[in-house]
Amino acid sequence: MSNVVYEQREVRRSRYAVAAVFAVHGAVTGSFATRVPWIQDHAGVSAGQLGIALAFPALGASVAMPLAGTVTHRFGARNALRGLIALWTLSLVLPSLAPNLLTLCLALFTYGATAGMADVAMNALGVEVENRLGRSIMSGLHGMWSAGALAGSAAGTLAAHLGSDARLHHVLAAAVLTVVGVLSCQWVLDLQPAEDEEPPPRFALPPRSALLIGAIGFCAVFAEGASLDWSAVYLREQLQTSAGLAAACTTGFTLTMAIARIAGDKVVDRFGAVRTVRASGALAVLGGLLIVLAEHPAVAMSGFALMGLGIAVVVPLCFAAAGRSGSNPSLAIAGVATITYTSGLIAPSAIGMLAQATSLMVSFALVTLLSCGLVAFARVLRPGDRATISRPDAAVADPRP
């Protein structure tokens, strides 16, 4: 077998391995989210205190994300991802063990820090595989994350319905997901830094290119966070629908995003990142207008579906663009990830505060306005060269004996 054919096989195998890691990462998130009420009761915290505690995952992620490049440089891409995904899956157990607010905040900080570092590492490898394949795969990888989150949520919902202890549930989930995640890492690309390559700085401001790309990601994640947390409330309060129909709207939004991400790579390959994001932004704006102007639940639900369809591929394309920008792609990916995490943190509270001061209709008018930014600034995601994350002379370890 020629070296070229063997390398092609390794890259294709790595694609599926990274996809499995994305699904594992999403499954941890889904497993945690469904047991938050149990964790709140066990820790004995009020709704306000829980809101404070739930800010700590994003804080931990923002602090730890810049360290992912250093970890990868020191241990190599495969070992770094293997260790980080194991830390992330095992950290699922911590919040359910917390007996009070202080320990819950510390547990969620650790949970977020490991999530953020694993997120940067797996996205960096995803971009590397995409560059070597020469076609878009990032949307599909994020679609696998969404599928994993749905699977984790389904399992968590069943566990909650059966009245199981979240500590036992999360120990079992963490054990299974750790094994799957670690085994999947066996087939990812084993990128190693070149001998003369300087280690990345432990803490550094993201490059300007990452700030511009991150701004587009900020708009998309703001719309995602607002829709996930407030779509059901919008239907209940603005349109007086039943609780079941309101919940179905949120589920439909999530499913729309997952399906669009899984199918998005073919669209990106055919039309390019810039035109795809412009069209996606137009769909998101149309969806926002339907939401704001809706007088019937079906119209608002259609608007949320269009919103999910419009923003689904934006964040994956932001990571892909960051991985092809500048001389330090890992730092750029970390910068974009930090900005998007921050957006996801502030969106739900910002929507709530604005709704309290005005109305939910005005809040989603803001979401619609931000969606216009996807159309206006899509050119920032122009493809450029598909440069690899490692330096051109960086080695890929040959796993053959």
pLDDT tens across 99-111, in order? 999 999 999 999 9
- For residues 85 and 101, give the distance between their C-alpha atoms in angstroms, rounded to a whole number: 26
pLDDT surpassing 70 at residue 82: yes
Q: Lowest mean pLDDT of 138-142, 207-211, 295-299, 355-359, name the range.
A: 207-211
pLDDT of residue 200: 62
pLDDT of residue 167: 96
Contact, 300 vs 181, CB < 8 A? no
Number of H helices, E strands in the chain: 17, 2
Straight-line distance from the first to the last Cα atom of the chain, in angstroms, rounded to the nearest whole number: 14
pLDDT of residue 327: 58
Other beta carbons within 10 angstroms of residue 160's beta carbon come to 16
pLDDT surpassing 80 at residue 399: no
Contact, 261 vs 143, CB < 8 A? yes
Strand partners, 191: 396
- For residues 42 and 165, give the distance between their C-alpha atoms in angstroms, rounded to a whole number: 10
DSSP-derived secondary structure letter, 380: G
* Alpha helix (H) residue ranges in 34-165: 36-43, 47-53, 56-64, 68-75, 77-90, 93-97, 101-133, 138-161
pTM for the full predicted model: 0.83
CA-atom Rg of the chain in angstroms: 21
Beta-carbon contacts of 383 under 8 Å, excluding residues fewer than 6 positions away, are: 272, 273, 274, 321, 324
Average pLDDT over residues 81-85: 97
- For residues 382 and 84, give the distance between their C-alpha atoms in angstroms, rounded to a whole number: 31
Q: Domains, the chain, ranges and CATH? A: 1-190 (1.20.1250.20), 204-383 (1.20.1250.20)
Please report which confidence band the pLDDT of residue 179 belongs to, taking 50, 70 and 90 as the band edges.
very high
Integer CA distances (angstroms), 28 to 24, 93, 136, 395, in order = 6, 10, 25, 32
Q: What is the pLDDT of residues 109-131, one digit of tens each?
A: 999 999 999 999 999 999 999 98
- For residues 240 and 205, give the distance between their C-alpha atoms in angstroms, rounded to a whole number: 46
Q: Is the dihedral of CA 37, 42, 48, 50 positive or negative?
A: negative
* Cβ density class 219-238: b for 16+ within 10 Å, e for less: bbbbbbbbbbbbbbebbbeb
> Is residue 191 classed as helix, strand or coil in its secondary structure?
strand
- For residues 61 and 65, give the distance between their C-alpha atoms in angstroms, rounded to a whole number: 6
Q: What does the mean pLDDT of the chain come to?
A: 86
pLDDT of residue 395: 35
